[in-house]
Homo-oligomer: A and B are copies of this chain.
């Protein structure tokens, strides 16, 4: 149980759409499309990924972290450390 089952289908659909966007960007490059138009599409795909990441962080907090805090003990601390590390990782991209 990974905790994000509820929204799994939604996340999967969004990622498949981003996959298609990136494939489209590769084709734009191969077709010599104007660089600014390519950049606009890269920006859209990046925003899509960030939005999925944020949904994952939210799920991690609501499920993994909240469950571990309720159980108490060192597990909670570990999940919180992971959550902060994940946010740090996202901020650096």
Q: Is the interface of A mostly helix, strand, loop or mixed?
A: helix
Identical chains bound together, number: 4
Min distance, Cβ A11 to any Cβ of chain B, angstroms: 5
Q: Judge whether A36 and B60 touch: CB under 8 Å.
A: yes
Give chain A's interface residue range (CB within 8 Å of chain B): 35 or more
Contacts of A92 in B (CB 8 A): 43, 92
- The 8 Å CB contact of A65, one of B49, B65, B88, is B65
A interface residues, Cβ below 8 angstroms from B: 1-5, 8, 11-12, 15-16, 18-19, 22-23, 25-26, 29-30, 32-36, 38-40, 42-43, 45-47, 49-50, 52-54, 56-62, 64-66, 69-70, 76, 80, 82-93
